[in-house]
Structure formats: C-alpha cells, structure tokens
Amino acid sequence: EQILEAARSIAAATAALVKAAGTAQKELV
C-alpha cells in the first residue's frame, strides 16, 4: 500500500511538472 501511495505521489508530481512545461510550449503552437 505504501508503494502504491508513493507511486501515486510521483505520478501526480510528474504530471504537474510536465503540464507546466507543456503549457509554455502550447502557447507557441
């Protein structure tokens, strides 16, 4: 269960990071 929670946190943090980076790119597209 702890593994799943830790993986969930990483996935959420990575999605937020990538979204932030993607938003900057999208403005140009």
Q: Which residues bind other proteins (CB under 8 A)?
A: 2-29
Minimal distance in Å, beta carbon 12 to other proteins? 8
Could you tell me the smallest distance in angstroms from the CB atom of residue 17 to other proteins? 4
Q: How distant is the alpha carbon of residue 20 from its chain centre?
A: 8
Residue 14 to residue 22: CA distance in whole angstroms: 12
Least distance in angstroms from the C-beta of 23 to other proteins: 8
